[in-house]
Chain A
Amino acid sequence: MIVLLGVVVVILGFVTRRNPVLVIGAAGVFTGLIGGMNPLEVLAAFGRSFADSRSVTVFAVALPVIGLLERYGLREQARRLIGRLGALSAGRFLTVYLLIRQTTAALGLTGIAGPAQTVRPLVAPMAEAAAERSTGAALPDRLREKVRSYAASADTVGLFFGEDCFIAIGSILLITGFVNSTYHQDLEPTQLALWAIPLAACAFVIHGARLLLLDRQLQRETALAHAEHDLPLPKGTDK
């Protein structure tokens, strides 16, 4: 039972926001020692499992290519592609963005979008503009926040449930690295990626549907907000 203290170290470390690298290192040493290994065995365990999990870090060889392409305008071109979608309603626009984000992530292009690169400069402003165009009025603050939140969510959901269909992504390689080194298996990344596809489809259907429903919600709530503004409803009326 005492080895469970290692898990407690990890949880405490992450909860108190310590540097994750230090948390993992400390938890590893601590767990090894209370698990009955002597210091040399702990060192050997660190070394051996590091050697066995090298596949996880192989994606570093892709950095020069991506760096070169970014230098020659990869992100700018991605931006232009998204720019051509600006005539849709907010919900439809975000659904298309979700699809693009998911597909590119599934091809391994996780770095071409993100909250800083695309959501703030592009996706959120375009979704807001689309919402204002289709409702025909300025968005109340609360709804503006909502549209922005949904823009961020489309990016995150698309990334999470797209990238696992790609074989060289950290999470897939973590699974194979962990299982192959701990249980001496020969698990291939492609097998795992295959099983991520059905869930990627579920994610698109569920989140896409919610994004499309956002349009109706916006219509209803802006209408209500403006009606309220012109003709105040009696207090206590539910919105």
Chain B
Amino acid sequence: MIKVEWLYWLVGLVLVVMAVQMAADRTNPRRWTSAAFWGLLGLAFPYGTGVADATAHNGGWTLPAEPLGVAVLALIVLAGFNFLGKGEPVTSTAEEREAAATRLGSRIFVPALTIPLVALVCASLLDTSGLFEKGKATLLGLGIGCLVALLVGMLVTGERKLSVPLHSGRSMLEAMGSALLLPQLLAVLGSIFALAGVGTQVGRIVHDVLPDHSKYLAVMAYCVGMFLFTVIMGNAFAAFPVMTAAIGWPVLVQQMHGNEAAVLALGMLAGFSGTLCTPMAANYNIVPATLLELKDQYGPIKAQIPTALPLLACSTAIMALFAF
């Protein structure tokens, strides 16, 4: 049986290899701290095997969680105080890429499409085959899809050296920087909020305000709350753990028995409507305005608000009508 931990070890290995490449890259002004960041992140993946809940029941090796906590804080310090740098990207010139595009044509899309295709096949057809750890077929499908796509990609492009995709991937890693870690850190923050009882408190306030057992009002509170919180923070990922711990999970799923996938997916999308409306989401709204040299930096937001509001209504309505 293929276990999800193997995939985490693969991710860790890829990150450690890229960290070694970074340490050797003299064009990166902060190569040692960059290598420390990605190497530490890579090592945190296999170490996590001994810490994660799922494996503790397997009678597997258990490790204390505190050192991993120290490592996470070290990652936060390295990323938070700008210790991450970039080297000269190892890539092709514009002319080489144009020539390759002419030579390969639309065949270049085949490896890219392989990833979702393999992931879907694993999630739907092979899920019940017993080949994968229970409940992890999709995630493992993604990992296998990437390996298959890498093979297909090297065949299609005629690339022989494995170091080429690794170098290109590393350049993308350097370009993304700490943004790559953000979703996981927000999940961590969400868990700590839950442990400390933040959601329960917001939930209590909502409970006092909401009339009892009013499904429609609770759905509206969750969706509009996601929308407003996202407008304030500029990031649906940051709003999600708070609003879900406050209303989404305790009220809509546990108390009113809503379909959890529907509630959570639509709640997140209600937050995305908020991202369309806020200058706080600078990378989506202000950056395009400056890139396009607009005099009115709110131009894209103005073009998006009349779409975002009906979409908020749609997600609220779909949740109210189909999630219960």
- Contact yes or no, A171 B69, CB < 8 A: no
Q: Which A residues from 78 to 109 make CB contacts under 8 A with B?
A: 80-81, 107-109
Contact of A60 among B76, B180, B235 (CB under 8 A): B180
Contact of A149 among B15, B81, B294 (CB under 8 A): B294
Q: Given A152-B303, A167-B119, A198-B318, verify A44-B190 contact (CB < 8 Å).
A: no
Q: Given A108-B115, A173-B183, verify A67-B265 contact (CB < 8 Å).
A: no
- B74-99 contact mask (Cβ, 8 Å, vs A): 1 or 0: 00110111100000000110000111
Min distance, Cβ B120 to any Cβ of chain A, angstroms: 8
Q: Given A60-B11, A150-B303, A183-B249, verify A120-B112 contact (CB < 8 Å).
A: no
- Contact yes or no, A175 B65, CB < 8 A: no
Inter-chain contacts of B269 with A (CB < 8 A): 161, 164, 196, 199
- Contact yes or no, A115 B111, CB < 8 A: no
- Contact yes or no, B116 A108, CB < 8 A: yes
Contact of B291 among A116, A146, A156 (CB under 8 A): A116
Q: Given A28-B192, A64-B166, A174-B187, verify A14-B238 contact (CB < 8 Å).
A: yes
- A137-172 contact mask (Cβ, 8 Å, vs B): 1 or 0: 000010001101111110111001100101110111
Closest to A150 in B: B303
- Contact yes or no, A24 B138, CB < 8 A: no
Inter-chain contacts of B264 with A (CB < 8 A): 175, 179, 187, 192
Interface contacts (Cβ under 8 Å), in number, total 454
Min distance, Cβ A238 to any Cβ of chain B, angstroms: 19
| B68 at the binding interface (Cβ < 8 Å) | yes
Residue of A14, A19, A73 contacting most chain B CB atoms (<10 Å): A73
Inter-chain contacts of A64 with B (CB < 8 A): 14, 146, 150, 165-166, 168-169
Min distance, Cβ B202 to any Cβ of chain A, angstroms: 7
SS of A interface (majority): helix
Q: Which B residues from 175 to 224 make CB contacts under 8 A with A?
A: 178, 180-198, 201-202
- Contact yes or no, A47 B116, CB < 8 A: no
Inter-chain contacts of B149 with A (CB < 8 A): 62, 65
B positions within 8 Å CB-CB of A: 4, 7-8, 10-11, 14-15, 41, 44-45, 47-49, 51-54, 64-73, 76-77, 79-82, 91-92, 97-102, 104-106, 108-109, 111-113, 115-116, 119-120, 123-124, 134-135, 137-139, 142-143, 146-147, 149-150, 153-154, 157, 159, 164-173, 178, 180-198, 201-202, 232-238, 240-242, 244-245, 249, 260-262, 264-266, 268-269, 272, 275-276, 280, 284-285, 287-289, 291-292, 294-296, 299-300, 302-304, 306-307, 310-311, 314-315, 318
Closest 4 CB pairs of A and B: A35-B196, A67-B168, A47-B68, A73-B101
A positions within 8 Å CB-CB of B: 1, 3-4, 6-7, 10-11, 14-15, 19-22, 24-25, 27-29, 31-32, 34-37, 40, 42-77, 80-81, 107-109, 112, 115-116, 119-120, 124, 141, 145-146, 148-153, 155-157, 160-161, 164, 166-168, 170-175, 177-179, 181-196, 198-199, 202-203, 206-207, 210
